[in-house]
């Protein structure tokens, strides 16, 4: 098929068609834009045709002629068919310009009216194809788009390759795709012979879990639980076609797979991956079924499960491409995870149970034995249930809460209704394990199931608490649960303690009322102590301590000591809402960075050992924040990005992680990325009604705007933070540390009086609480206020003092910012060496955005020696202090940019100030200011 197009603006690759392929598309696009050719290759279903179509749509607009072909396996035996697709519609145009012998051979091959063949007319045909492409290229660029090169008939492939190798500088490009198997496959080498010698070969690999989730969401399957999406990614091996088919099958199937069972595989994929299954012997097929049922199958395991000829049967499957060949490796590995799932799905239920029964005695791991025992059994069986509950406890101790949740659900299914413990209790334990594993969707579903079945108050309250927990920071959505939970709790102090603990979180997150949150936590701790529920008491005390710390409440140290008092519960000690976390927050706010780092590192190590996803996300943020305070911006950025990736993967703590990553990006990464993440965090906090994190997100946005050179934006954002925190009752300036940034931005926009007011209010609380680093930052900002008011020497002295104190406290980035302010303030035209200290400090911190600010400051330097600022003239007495300074610098010939650098304000502020000066003095331009000064001197 041939398409002629007029030149027009090329369309970009549609992002929805190239999910997860942005870098590969960029490389291919660069190659095509330079006039080169591209060969896409990879296994079936990996997305080659999708990328081919997207690139062809983009680059076809730049070609005068587009030649297309798409071969199929069923037609690959027909000679010259692909060549006919490519040249059929231009044959009448090019043939008259070909030599007679070439024209005859080409027409005969493409029309079938003669007996042309490569054996008979080989040279004439080869030259004819080459000449035809040159004729087309003489009229304008030619793009050849060929999909599924592996199915090209041999004659067409030979002719196309001959021409491609000889096109030289002719404007003919090839955009092709070919199926290859295996990560290190070199099959595409022979297909490169059909492309020009300098073609770029681009291999398409599997998508990541996040990319598969994005793809499923784009195709309308975003409502699937995250645990299911993870299983889709595992089963599909990251293959987008397989993932979409699995997602579609699950969306259409009203009955989800049972715990421990593989995903249902649709018939379309079974046929695709099991096409060679009928070539296996019956016994080999049974051996593969046992292997597909096992978690980590080996030949030894298959022998123990009764498959006596496992080696030979596995070798037979490997020859057919069903198993991967790994010499000297004990594992039996399927060539693709989907083959295992499809084989299992294809087997009758009775054969599956038989395979699990064999593995229940053959497996060496007690968890695996219990799982197979459950999948081999039917109906309630107290012995099986007990075995599964024991295995779940073992998995929990091993730090595998996701496995524990699945085993717990199996235990509940096999538990008799009158069993002790009962099925609902085991379901609730499974839900709590699911929360630990970060599978909040699964936990929420279990809680709903229990609420539909349970009548025991303790079970119902526990289910309500799980349902509330899964809401995270969207607690406004579960408001209706609290009255029902209180009703089920009755007058039982142990159950009431659980509910009031959650009511404390609701007061903090939804209402933004720290006082109410503290009171609810204290009440919960009292109720829990009365009922001897030490775990809930410790959680409530830790929460009370955290609220008091953020409020700047004098009781905070004593409450932390109470929360750390023995006896402790290990489940609380490492929990992100436990006393260890409260102590870490106290340490980091109290400038004890080394001890804070050691504390949070230990907590992070423990939660990783236990497999607690939410706590890991939380403590990754905590460690990133500590490193950021210490000025280790590169390390902080890596940790923050890890936290954000894990938060997005699990759906837990996304707003908080986006906020923290924004701070890290603005300090040591990409400022545009910082702005995007901060705005995302603000939007999510507003949507969730999360008052606590809205102020934090706005604080991050204000900082990013400051680094980006938008002081007016900083003022807008941080004024909102100031208003929010006044309403919330937050008085400790170490909580968000935004006060210094707001004051600095206010100076830059010409509002030094408001800046001083912010500094004075924050200083009172910082002095009361002993926040030394906050006081030093406030002094740095106050120095800028003094400089704006003309008290340069006092400002310099205050900056030097602030820099020294911040250095001693270990706040590397804040120390560097003080050095930068000193360099800018020492003179209007300092030499380049004046910035050396700030440059060295920012480099040590890996604070790349701040280094760029230093470079901009150096670029604006004027090599002329600084001139003293003249004494204000009488005519300037009507002006405010800032206006007099700006007018005086204009009189000496300074540009707006130089004035901004000298007074540490923005160029926009200089312009606005000059507008006020003109109005007050009754003049129209800066020239009039100079004339006014000259006139005064003449007198």
Q: Which of 232-241, 590-599, 920-929 has the lowest mean pLDDT?
A: 920-929
| 377, 474, 484, 786 from 296: Cα distances, Å | 21, 39, 45, 70
Residue with more model confidence, 469 or 692: 469
* Environment class of 833 (CB within 10 Å of its CB; exposed 0-12, middle 13-18, buried 19+): exposed
Whether 234 and 330 have beta carbons less than 8 Å apart is answered as: no
pLDDT at 121: 66
Nearest-5° angle of CA 653, CA 243, CA 239?
105
Cα(571)–Cα(612) distance, integer angstroms:
11
Mean pLDDT for the stretch of residues 218-232: 81
pLDDT at 259: 64
pLDDT at 13: 44
- What backbone phi and psi angles, to 5 degrees, belong to 96? -60, -20
pLDDT at 7: 27
Alpha carbon 908 to its chain's center: 36
Residue with more model confidence, 740 or 926: 740
Using the CB atoms, write b or e for 249-285: b if 16+ within 10 Å.
Answer: bbeeeeeeeebbbbbbbbeebbebbbeebeebeeebb
**According to the per-residue pLDDT averaged within each range, which of 92-96, 501-505, 828-832 is highest?**
501-505
For the stretch 488-534, pLDDT in tens is 999 999 999 999 999 999 998 888 888 999 999 999 999 999 999 99
Mean pLDDT of the chain: 87
Query: Residue 302: which pLDDT band, with cuts at 50, 70 and 90?
Result: very high
Q: What is the DSSP string of 259-299?
A: TTPPPP--HHHHHHH-TTGGGS-HHHHHHHHHHHHSSS-BH
pLDDT at 16: 46
**Containing H/E element for 338?**
helix 337-346
Whether 209 and 239 have beta carbons less than 8 Å apart is answered as: no
Lookup result for tokens 């960029």? 26
- The DSSP output letter for 173 is E
**According to the per-residue pLDDT averaged within each range, which of 437-446, 557-566, 618-627 is highest?**
618-627
Q: Which tokens in the block code for residue 816?
A: 């560097």
Cα(330)–Cα(314) distance, integer angstroms:
12
Q: Residue 832: how many CB atoms within 10 A of its CB? A: 12
Mean pLDDT for the stretch of residues 557-582: 91
Mean pLDDT for the stretch of residues 190-209: 82
Whether 867 and 899 have beta carbons less than 8 Å apart is answered as: no
Residues near 688 by Cβ (< 8 Å), separated by ≥ 6?
473, 474, 476, 655
Q: Is 201 helix (H, G, I), strand (E, B) or coil?
A: strand
Alpha carbon 61 to its chain's center: 35
For the stretch 623-654, pLDDT in tens is 999 999 999 999 999 999 999 999 988 888 89
Q: End-to-end alpha-carbon separation of the chain, Å? A: 89
Q: Which of 317-326, 539-548, 582-591 has the lowest mean pLDDT?
A: 317-326
Q: Which of 182-191, 239-248, 361-370, 440-449 has the lowest mean pLDDT?
A: 182-191
Mean pLDDT for the stretch of residues 135-156: 90
Lookup result for tokens 């996304």? 654
pLDDT at 869: 40
Percentage of residues of the chain with pLDDT beyond 90? 51
For the stretch 255-290, pLDDT in tens is 767 666 677 788 778 777 777 777 888 999 999 999
Cα(292)–Cα(356) distance, integer angstroms:
10
Residue with more model confidence, 122 or 291: 291
Query: Residue 891: which pLDDT band, with cuts at 50, 70 and 90?
Result: confident
pLDDT at 933: 64
Q: What is the DSSP string of 472-532?
A: TT-GGGGTTHHHHHHHHHTT-HHHHHHHHHHHHHHHHHTS--HHHHHHHHHHHHHHHHHTT
Query: Residue 292: which pLDDT band, with cuts at 50, 70 and 90?
Result: very high
Nearest CA-CA partner of 427 in 221, 259, 214:
259
Query: Residue 779: which pLDDT band, with cuts at 50, 70 and 90?
Result: very high
pLDDT at 812 over 80: yes
Secondary structure of 750-764 in HEC code, one letter for each residue:
CCHHHHHHHHHHHHH
Q: Residue 241: how many CB atoms within 10 A of its CB? A: 18
| 16, 293, 309, 451 from 328: Cα distances, Å | 43, 23, 18, 52
297: alpha, beta or left, given left = phi > 0 and alpha = psi -120 to 50?
Answer: beta
pLDDT at 877: 65
Its pTM stands at 0.76
Q: Is the peptide bond before 421 cis (omega within 30 degrees of 0)?
A: yes
Whether 251 and 224 have beta carbons less than 8 Å apart is answered as: yes
Q: Is 48 helix (H, G, I), strand (E, B) or coil?
A: helix
pLDDT at 245 over 60: yes
Percentage of residues of the chain with pLDDT beyond 70? 91
Cα(643)–Cα(628) distance, integer angstroms:
14
Nearest-5° angle of CA 330, CA 332, CA 334?
150
Q: Residue 804: how many CB atoms within 10 A of its CB? A: 13
- The DSSP output letter for 325 is -
Cα(753)–Cα(761) distance, integer angstroms:
13
Spatial strand order in the sheet of 172-179: 2-4, 65-70, 142-147, 172-179, 38-42, 200-203
- What backbone phi and psi angles, to 5 degrees, belong to 323? -115, 150
Whether 435 and 469 have beta carbons less than 8 Å apart is answered as: yes
| 229, 421, 569 from 393: Cα distances, Å | 25, 14, 17
Cα(133)–Cα(90) distance, integer angstroms:
10
Cα(149)–Cα(52) distance, integer angstroms:
12
Whether 19 and 75 have beta carbons less than 8 Å apart is answered as: no
Cα(436)–Cα(574) distance, integer angstroms:
12
Residue with more model confidence, 834 or 316: 316
Query: Residue 17: which pLDDT band, with cuts at 50, 70 and 90?
Result: low
pLDDT at 5: 32
Helices (H) and strands (E) in the chain — how many of each?
48, 6
Q: Residue 397: how many CB atoms within 10 A of its CB? A: 10
- The DSSP output letter for 331 is B
Nearest CA-CA partner of 623 in 638, 613, 610, 612:
638
pLDDT at 189 over 70: no
Cα(80)–Cα(557) distance, integer angstroms:
85
Nearest CA-CA partner of 619 in 584, 579, 594:
584
Q: Which tokens in the block code for residue 379?
A: 């109906």
pLDDT at 939 over 60: no
For the stretch 112-126, pLDDT in tens is 655 555 556 678 888
pLDDT at 785 over 90: yes
Cα(790)–Cα(740) distance, integer angstroms:
20
Whether 736 and 717 have beta carbons less than 8 Å apart is answered as: no
Query: Residue 728: which pLDDT band, with cuts at 50, 70 and 90?
Result: confident
Mean pLDDT for the stretch of residues 851-880: 61
Whether 515 and 729 have beta carbons less than 8 Å apart is answered as: yes
Q: Residue 439: how many CB atoms within 10 A of its CB? A: 28
pLDDT at 330 over 60: yes
Whether 60 and 175 have beta carbons less than 8 Å apart is answered as: no
Q: In the beta sheet, which residues pair with residue 457? A: none
Mean pLDDT for the stretch of residues 196-220: 87
675-684 long-range CB contacts below 8 Å, 24 or more apart? 675/701, 675/704, 675/705, 675/708, 677/644, 678/704, 681/655, 681/656, 684/654, 684/655, 684/658
Cα(229)–Cα(235) distance, integer angstroms:
10
Mean pLDDT for the stretch of residues 543-570: 90
């Amino acid at each position: 098929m041939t398409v002629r197009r007029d030149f027009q603006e090329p369309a970009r690759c549609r992002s929805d068609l190239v999910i997860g392929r942005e870098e590969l598309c960029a490389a291919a696009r660069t190659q095509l834009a330079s006039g080169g050719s591209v060969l896409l290759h990879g296994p079936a279903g990996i997305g080659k045709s999708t990328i081919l179509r997207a690139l062809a749509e983009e680059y076809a607009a730049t070609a005068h002629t587009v030649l297309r072909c798409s071969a199929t396996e069923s037609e690959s035996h027909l000679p010259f068919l692909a060549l006919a697709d490519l040249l059929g519609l231009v044959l009448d145009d090019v043939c008259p310009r070909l030599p007679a012998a070439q024209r005859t051979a080409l027409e005969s091959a493409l029309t079938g009216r003669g007996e042309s063949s490569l054996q008979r007319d080989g040279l004439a045909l080869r030259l004819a194809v080459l000449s035809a492409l040159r004729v087309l290229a003489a009229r304008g660029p030619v793009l050849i788009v060929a999909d599924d090169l592996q199915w090209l008939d041999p004659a067409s492939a030979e002719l196309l390759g001959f021409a491609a190798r000889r096109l030289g500088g002719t404007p003919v490009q090839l955009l092709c795709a070919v199926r290859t198997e295996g990560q290190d496959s070199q099959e595409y080498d022979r297909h490169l012979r059909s492309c020009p010698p300098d073609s770029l070969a681009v291999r398409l690999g599997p998508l990541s879990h996040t990319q598969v989730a994005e793809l499923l969401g784009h195709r309308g399957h975003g409502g699937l639980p995250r645990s299911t999406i993870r299983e889709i990614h595992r089963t599909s091996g990251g293959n987008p076609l397989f993932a979409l088919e699995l997602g579609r099958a699950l969306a259409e199937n009203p009955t989800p797979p049972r715990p421990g069972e593989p995903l249902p595989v649709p018939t379309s994929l079974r046929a695709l991956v099991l096409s060679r299954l009928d070539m296996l012997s019956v016994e080999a097929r049974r051996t593969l079924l046992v292997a597909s049922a096992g978690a980590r199958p080996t030949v030894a395991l298959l022998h123990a499960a009764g498959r006596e000829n496992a080696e030979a049967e596995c070798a037979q499957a490997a020859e057919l491409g069903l198993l991967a060949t790994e010499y000297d490796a004990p594992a039996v590995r399927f060539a693709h995870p989907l083959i295992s799932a499809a084989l299992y799905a294809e087997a009758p239920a009775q054969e599956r149970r038989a395979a699990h029964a064999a593995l229940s005695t053959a497996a060496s791991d007690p968890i695996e034995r219990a799982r197979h025992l459950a999948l081999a059994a039917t109906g309630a069986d107290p012995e099986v249930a007990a075995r599964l509950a024991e295995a779940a406890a073992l998995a929990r101790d091993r730090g595998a809460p996701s496995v524990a949740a699945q085993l717990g659900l199996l235990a509940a299914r096999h538990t008799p209704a009158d069993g002790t413990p009962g099925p609902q209790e085991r379901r609730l334990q499974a839900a709590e394990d699911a929360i630990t594993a970060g599978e909040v969707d699964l936990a929420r579903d279990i809680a709903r199931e229990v609420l539909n079945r349970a009548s025991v108050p303790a079970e119902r309250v526990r289910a309500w608490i799980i349902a509330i927990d899964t809401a995270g920071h969207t607690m406004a959505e579960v408001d209706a649960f609290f009255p029902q939970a209180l009703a089920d709790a009755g007058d039982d102090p142990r159950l009431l303690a659980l509910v009031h603990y959650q009511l404390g979180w609701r007061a903090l997150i939804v209402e933004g009322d720290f006082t109410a949150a503290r009171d609810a936590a204290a009440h919960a701790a009292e109720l829990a102590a009365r009922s001897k529920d030490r775990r809930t008491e410790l959680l409530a005390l830790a929460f009370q301590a955290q609220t008091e710390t953020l409020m700047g409440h004098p009781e905070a140290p004593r409450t932390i000591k109470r929360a750390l008092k023995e006896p402790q519960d290990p489940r609380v000690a490492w929990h992100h809402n436990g006393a260890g976390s409260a102590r870490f927050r106290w340490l980091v706010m109290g400038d004890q960075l080394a001890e804070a780092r050691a504390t949070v590192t230990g907590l992070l190590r423990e939660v990783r050992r236990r497999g607690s996803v939410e706590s890991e996300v939380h403590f990754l943020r905590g460690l990133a924040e500590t490193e950021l305070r210490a000025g280790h911006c590169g390390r902080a950025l890596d940790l923050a990005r890890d936290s954000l990736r894990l938060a997005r993967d699990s759906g837990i703590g996304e707003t908080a992680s986006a906020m923290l990553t924004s701070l890290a990006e603005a300090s040591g990464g990409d400022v545009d990325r910082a702005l995007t993440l901060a705005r995302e965090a603000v939007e999510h906090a507003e949507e969730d009604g999360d008052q606590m994190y809205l102020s934090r997100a706005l604080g991050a946005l204000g900082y990013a705007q400051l680094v980006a050179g938008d002081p007016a934006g900083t003022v807008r954002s941080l004024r909102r933070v100031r208003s929010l925190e006044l309403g919330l009752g937050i008085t400790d300036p170490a909580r968000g540390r935004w006060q210094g940034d707001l004051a600095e931005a206010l100076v830059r926009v010409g509002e030094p009086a408001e800046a001083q007011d912010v500094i004075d209010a924050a200083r009172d609380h910082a002095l009361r609480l002993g926040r030394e680093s906050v006081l030093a930052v406030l002094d740095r900002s106050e120095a800028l206020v003094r400089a704006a008011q003309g008290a340069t020497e006092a400002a310099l002295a205050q900056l030097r003092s602030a820099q020294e104190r911040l250095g001693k406290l270990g706040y590397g980035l804040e120390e560097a910012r003080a050095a930068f302010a000193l360099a800018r303030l020492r003179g209007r035209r300092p030499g380049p060496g004046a910035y050396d200290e700030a440059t060295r400090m920012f480099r040590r911190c890996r604070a790349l955005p701040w280094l760029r600010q230093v470079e901009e400051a150096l670029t604006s330097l004027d090599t002329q020696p600084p001139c003293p600022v003249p004494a204000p003239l009488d005519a300037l007495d009507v002006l405010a202090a800032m206006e007099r300074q700006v007018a005086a610098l204009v009189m000496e010939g300074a540009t707006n940019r130089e004035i901004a650098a000298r007074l540490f304000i923005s160029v926009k502020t200089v312009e606005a100030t000059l507008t006020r000066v003109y109005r007050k003095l009754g003049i129209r331009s800066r020239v009039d200011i100079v004339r006014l000064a000259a006139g005064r001197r003449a007198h």
